[in-house]
Amino acid sequence: NAGVTQTPKFQVLKTGQSMTLQCAQDMNHNSMYWYRQDPGMGLRLIYYSASEGTTDKGEVPNGYNVSRLNKREFSLRLESAAPSQTSVYFCASNGWQGDEQYFGPGTRLTVT
Amino acid sequence: GENVEQHPSTLSVQEGDSAVIKCTYSDSASNYFPWYKQELGKRPQLIIDIRSNVGEKKDQRIAVTLNKTAKHFSLHITETQPEDSAVYFCAGNAGNMLTFGGGTRLMVKP
């Protein structure tokens, strides 16, 4: 049981490049989330998926898109990366909203 | 939406002392309040949570109290140890989302 996994662990992009961050969970959870964490800051919700087939905006959705590919996988896409998107990105999941969220190991993204 | 504020932002205690971190929330409909611990370079991990139908919850050296009327909740760590050094985040839910506080860096000096 791997829990929540994320790829890649590290990524460096140039301004304007695009990339997709991958997240998968093997706990049969319904809900999945994408957060960003800037240095010395808390976690801010980018997008979430309450259940397979649904996605909703969080606090800071601008510049991002998501896809809930199936129950296991939830990807985050940056279409045109900007230096302001330099951050650590965490994926999380839980069985139902209002329950413990389990976090992945994070992706450290730098945009130059 | 929900707004969660956390204090203090840094806290330094001597090993064996107690540590208290406080959070306030804005949305009276919030009913789930988790606390996460994040070690340097690691993922956040849940250490304790409390629901709005309970005023206090304890797990060994860690306890959380909730005052719904005042809309604040607190984390209490007793007999602190060096391995308690980390960043602690509180959170509150509003509908489908968790809103996190800004974090408290706890340093336990041996």
Q: Which of B6, B96, B98 sits opposite A50 (nearest CB)?
A: B96
Q: Which residues of B touch A99 (CB under 8 A)?
A: 32
Residue B13 confidence (pLDDT) above 80: yes
The length of chain B, given as a count of residues: 110
CB-CB contact of A28 with A71 (8 Å): yes
Q: Are strands A87-94 and A74-78 parallel, antiparallel or unpaired?
A: unpaired
- As a whole number of angstroms, the distance between CA B33 and CA B30 comes to 8
Please give the residue of chain A at the shortest CA–CA distance from B92: A98
- As a whole number of angstroms, the distance between CA B48 and CA B60 comes to 11
- As a whole number of angstroms, the distance between CA A4 and CA B109 comes to 33
What per-residue confidence (pLDDT) applies to A2?
Answer: 84
Q: Which amino acid is at B22?
A: K
The average pLDDT across B39-49 equals: 95
Interface of A with B (CB under 8 A): 31, 33, 40-45, 48, 50, 56, 58-59, 90, 97-101, 103-106
Distance from CA of B84 to the nearest CA of A (A): 18
Please give the residue of chain A at the shortest CA–CA distance from B31: A98
Distance from CA of B49 to the nearest CA of A (A): 8
- As a whole number of angstroms, the distance between CA B21 and CA A64 comes to 33
Question: For residue range B56-92, what is the model confidence (pLDDT) as tens digits?
Answer: 999 999 999 999 999 999 999 999 999 999 999 999 9
What per-residue confidence (pLDDT) applies to B2?
Answer: 85
Among B36, B97, B99, most A C-beta atoms within 10 A, so best to mutate, is B97
**Alpha helices (H) along chain A:** none
Residues A107, A109, B3, B8: is their CA dihedral positive or negative? positive
Q: Kindly list the strands in the beta sheet with A19-25, ordered across the sheet, starting from the edge strand earlier in the chain.
A: A4-7, A19-25, A74-78, A64-68
Residue A39 confidence (pLDDT) above 90: no
Residue B96 confidence (pLDDT) above 90: no
CB-CB contact of B23 with B4 (8 Å): yes
Question: For residue range A49-100, what is the model confidence (pLDDT) as tens digits?
Answer: 999 999 999 999 999 999 998 999 999 999 999 999 999 999 999 987 678 8
